Amino acid sequence: MQDILLAPLDWCPHPENMIGMHLAGDSMLPAITPGSILFVDTAAKDRDYLQQRISVVSHRDLGFKVARFQRISGSDLLVSANYKYPPVDVSNASKWKIFGEVLWWVSRDADAHP
C-alpha cells in the first residue's frame, strides 16, 4: 500500500518541481522534528530570494543540508534551528548547490502512538 498526501495547489507555486524528502538528524529541532517529510520547491534556487527561508543545499561530498539560508556580510550561511550546530558557509557556489526551498513539512507527533 502506498500513502498519498494531497495539498492545495496554491501551496505549490511550481507543482511540477515539488518533491518530498525525509529529514534525518536533529539540526532543525525544535522547528522540524527528525523524520519529518519536507516538501521542497526545486525551482527556487535564487540565493537572494532564499534570504531567511528554510532551504535545502547540496554538496557533492557532504550530501544535503537543511537550514535557514542567510546572506550576511557577503557570505551565504545555513543557520540551523538547533543552536548546537554552528552555521555552515555555503558561499562557494561551485561546491554548494541550491537544491530548493522548503515550503512546508509534515511531522508525526512524538507523543502519538503509531
Task: Give me the DSSP letters along 49-111.
Answer: TTTTSEEEEEETTTEEEEEEEEEETTEEEEE-SSTTSPPEE---TTTEEEEEEEEEEE---TT
Amino acid sitting at position 94: S
Owner of C-alpha cell 526551498: 101
The arithmetic mean of pLDDT across residues 32-50, rounded, is 97
The per-residue pLDDT for 1 is 55
Q: Kindly tell me if the per-residue pLDDT of 72 is higher than 90.
A: yes
**pTM of the full predicted structure?**
0.89
The arithmetic mean of pLDDT across residues 38-58, rounded, is 97
The per-residue pLDDT for 109 is 72
The per-residue pLDDT for 111 is 62
The rounded mean pLDDT for the chain is 92
Q: Kindly tell me if the per-residue pLDDT of 34 is higher than 70.
A: yes
